[in-house]
């Protein structure tokens, strides 16, 4: 079965530092990949998505992600983190036998120190 793995449950960075959140998927064909952010008690906001084409995807709030087929990865990056970026981040996948449905990773909680 297809799956999405976020290896890091919790990451702490200092404000202004760079950030990379890891996401790995297991699926043979090109997947549809998403990154969402969730603040406590809130719904999910789409940061960016990859369907095809350029493997470096730009999103909102200064985030970007790179699709690497050889590594089955779709890592999220931001060059300089702001305190307001503290939240939980979910990588999600759609495609294959789960066509039309999103499968989420376990989530990564980001803490930002001043």
Task: Report residue 23 as tokens.
Answer: 């996401």
Interaction mask 14-53, another protein, x per CB under 8 A: ------------------x-x-x----xxxxxx--x-x--
**For residues 10 and 14, which CB has a smaller minimum distance to another protein in the complex?**
10
Nearer to another protein among residue 32 and residue 62 (C-beta): 32
Tokens (6 digits) for 93: 């996948």
- Please report whether residue 80 would count as binding another protein according to CB under 8 A: no
- Other beta carbons within 10 angstroms of residue 42's beta carbon come to 10
Structure tokens at 26: 């297991």
**How far is residue 79 from each of residues 20, 27, 44, measured CA to CA in Å?**
9, 29, 22
Under the rule (CB under 8 A), what is the footprint of another protein? Answer: 32, 34, 36, 41-46, 49, 51, 90, 94-95, 99-107
């Amino acid at each position: 079965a297809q799956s999405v793995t976020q290896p890091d449950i919790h990451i702490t960075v200092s404000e202004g530092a760079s950030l990379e959140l890891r996401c790995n998927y297991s699926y043979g064909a090109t997947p549809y990949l998403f990154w969402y952010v969730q603040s406590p008690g809130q719904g999910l906001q789409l940061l960016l998505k990859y369907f095809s084409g350029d493997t470096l995807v730009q999103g909102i709030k200064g985030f970007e992600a790179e699709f690497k087929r050889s590594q089955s990865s779709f890592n999220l990056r931001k060059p300089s983190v702001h305190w307001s970026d503290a939240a939980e981040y979910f990588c999600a996948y759609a495609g294959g036998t789960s066509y039309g449905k999103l499968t989420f990773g376990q989530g990564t909680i980001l803490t930002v120190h001043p």
